[in-house]
Structure formats: structure tokens, C-alpha cells
């Protein structure tokens, strides 16, 4: 005799008027504790910068570390007037290097990734394997060879010496290839070819809009990498007016060994240099937070 008791749903599940019982929630204490420790570890230096940027040079090392001061506006004024406003020139240079370099790198990565994902040609797998190997090579080790190559053609101490090495991103090409393979259906490309569209037009009018969330992510990663890069512009650039903010603050920090009052200028400069990154993340979050593996044919 077959028993049906286990397959009959409970009355509360059948009656829509009966409130459903809530499953008891359980807190995973160990992962939560690890995450809290990680967040504390990452945010502690930021909290120190925020607190120290409000102190004057005389109170920076004589008061409690995380106690805020009342000299934030004075420090901002000192930062703006130092060297006839050279800090804002450094900040504009960083925006130029990271903005232009990130945008060109995202476009090149998108075109390369789309080609590797949607076209079959001899050596495609070998090229992709070389790109994967390039992901494992630290960018720091390439700074000196890139300097020697650009010195041969007379491009050192120019804006191009920082922009050109930043255009090619193996990780960006890898990410764009993965995204193009998942988000651009072959049937859509075949339909466009049947309608007589050329390959360049198909990429610009069909594939590129579908790959936009992935390319925004590539741009964001590359923007942050160029913005935080120190060694490459330090090696390439020798003129103060072309320094990015990282190298400019480093020169100020070295001068602080003989002029301690410059430490407060350096710290407020560090705080201001973080703000564009936060603004960029907030501005682009509606793109990069999209599901990177969702189909792009919707809409």
C-alpha cells in the first residue's frame, strides 16, 4: 500500500490566506568575523588619513592618532597654494593618464576580445595562451624595458611615455573575450551579416552595445591601475609639470624630511586624490554591477 502522507503539502502552503512560517535564519559567525576583520584592516588606513588631514603640522604627531582636528580648510588652502597650485596640475595629469589610457585600453580590449571570441583563424589559441601568460607577468618588471624602448624613439618625459604602455591590458582582453563569448550570440551576428552589414559596423553597432557592461568593468579596472601606478611614471617622467599625483606626492614626502610642515600638505593631498576614484565608482556602479554573465540581447 502506497503512502501519500509525505507528498501532501501542508495546509498553510495551500491556503494563500494563511501566513507562511519563516525559516529560522542562521548567522555564520566565522565568515562574518573574517569579513569584519578584513573590512577593519582595509578601512583603518583610510580612517587615519581622514583624521590626520584635519590636523595642523604641529598637532599631527602630538595628539591621539584618530582624534580629528580643526584645520581641514587651512590644509586645503596650503595644498592649493603650494607651488602655485602644482598639486591640481598633478591631479589633472592623473585624470588624463587614467581617463584616456583607460578608455583606449577598454576599446582595444573589447575589439581584441571580440575577435578572439567570434572569429576562427590560425594561431587563435596560441595568441590567447600568450595573453594568459601576460596576465601573470607583473607590470613592475616591464617598466625598465619599456623605458629603454621609448627612450630609443625619444618619447621619454612626454605624456605618451605613460599612455602608450597603459593601452594594452592582458587581463582586460581576457575579460572582454569571456564576456563577448557569453553576451554576443552568434545568431545575431549571422543575421547582421545576412542583412549586408560589414564586420566593422557589426562590431560598432551590434556587438559593442552588448559588451558595454563588461567594457565598463575593464575601463574601471584599468583606470584604477593607471591612477595608482607609481613606478612607470616615476621612471618615464622627469618634469614636475607632467607628474601624476602619485609621483608628485612622493616628491613632497621627500621634502617633508627637511620641512616637516609639508607632511600635512601630503596627507590632505592623499585624501583629495581618493575622491575621484570614489566618484567614479559611484557614477559607473549601475553598469559594472550588472550581471556579467547575463545575456545582452534583452532590450
In a domain, 59, yes or no: no
Could you tell me the CATH number of the domain that includes residue 175?
A: 1.10.3720.10
Say how many domains are in the chain: 1
pTM of the model: 0.81
Predicted confidence (pLDDT) per residue in 148-178, tens digit: 999 999 999 999 999 999 898 888 999 999 9
Q: Can you give the residue range of the structural domain that contains 172?
A: 75-296
Residue 20 resides in a domain:
no
| Cβ burial, residue 113 (10 Å; 0-12/13-18/19+) | buried
pLDDT at 15: 54
Q: What are phi and psi of 196, to 5 degrees?
A: 95, 10
Residue-level pLDDT at 262: 84
- Report if residue 10 sits inside a domain: no
Start-to-end CA span in the chain (Å) = 54
Q: Do the domain assignments include residue 1? A: no
Tens of pLDDT, residues 104-133 = 999 999 999 999 999 998 988 898 888 888
Measured between alpha carbons, how far is 239 from 247 in angstroms, rounded to an integer?
11
**165 and 153 in contact (C-beta within 8 Å)?**
no
pLDDT of residue 59: 83
Q: Is residue 140 part of a domain?
A: yes
In a domain, 251, yes or no: yes
d(CA 93, CA 100): 10
293-296-297 Cα angle (round to 5): 140
Task: Collect the ranges in the chain with pLDDT lower than 50.
Answer: 1-12, 14, 292-293, 295-299
Residue 243 φ/ψ region, left for φ over 0, alpha for ψ in the -120 to 50 degree band, beta for the rest: beta
Q: Return the DSSP state at 206.
A: I
The whole-number pLDDT of residue 286 equals: 75
Q: Provide long-range contacts, Cβ within 8 A and 24+ apart, for 143-147.
A: 143/231, 143/232, 143/235, 144/235, 146/232, 146/236, 147/235, 147/236
Amino acid at each position: 500500500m502506497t503512502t501519500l502522507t509525505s507528498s501532501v503539502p501542508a495546509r498553510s502552503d495551500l491556503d494563500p490566506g494563511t501566513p507562511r512560517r519563516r525559516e529560522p535564519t542562521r548567522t555564520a559567525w566565522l565568515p562574518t568575523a573574517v569579513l569584519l576583520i578584513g573590512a577593519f584592516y582595509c578601512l583603518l588606513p583610510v580612517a587615519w588619513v581622514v583624521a590626520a588631514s584635519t590636523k595642523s603640522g604641529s598637532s599631527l604627531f602630538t595628539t591621539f592618532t584618530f582624534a580629528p582636528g580643526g584645520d581641514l580648510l587651512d590644509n586645503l588652502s596650503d595644498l592649493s597654494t603650494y607651488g602655485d597650485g602644482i598639486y591640481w596640475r598633478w591631479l589633472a595629469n592623473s585624470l588624463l593618464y587614467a581617463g584616456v589610457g583607460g578608455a583606449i585600453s577598454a576599446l582595444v580590449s573589447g575589439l581584441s576580445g571580440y575577435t578572439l571570441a567570434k572569429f576562427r583563424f590560425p594561431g587563435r589559441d596560441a595568441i590567447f595562451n600568450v595573453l594568459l601568460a601576460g596576465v601573470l607577468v607583473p607590470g613592475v618588471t616591464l617598466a625598465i624595458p619599456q623605458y629603454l624602448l621609448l627612450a630609443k624613439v625619444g618619447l621619454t618625459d612626454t605624456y605618451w611615455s605613460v599612455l602608450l604602455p597603459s593601452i594594452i591590458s592582458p587581463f582586460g582582453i581576457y575579460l572582454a573575450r569571456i564576456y563577448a563569448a557569453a553576451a554576443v550570440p552568434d545568431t545575431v551576428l549571422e543575421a547582421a551579416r545576412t542583412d549586408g552589414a560589414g564586420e566593422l559596423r557589426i562590431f560598432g553597432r551590434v556587438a559593442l552595445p552588448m559588451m558595454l557592461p563588461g567594457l565598463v568593468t575593464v575601463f574601471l579596472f584599468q583606470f584604477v591601475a593607471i591612477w595608482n601606478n607609481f613606478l612607470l611614471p616615476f621612471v618615464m617622467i622627469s618634469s614636475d609639470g607632467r607628474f601624476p599625483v602619485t609621483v608628485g606626492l612622493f616628491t613632497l614626502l621627500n621634502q617633508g624630511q627637511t620641512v616637516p610642515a609639508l607632511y600635512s600638505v601630503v596627507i590632505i593631498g592623499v585624501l583629495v586624490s581618493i575622491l575621484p576614484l570614489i566618484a567614479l565608482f559611484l557614477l559607473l556602479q549601475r553598469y559594472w554591477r550588472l550581471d556579467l554573465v547575463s545575456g545582452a540581447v534583452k532590450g
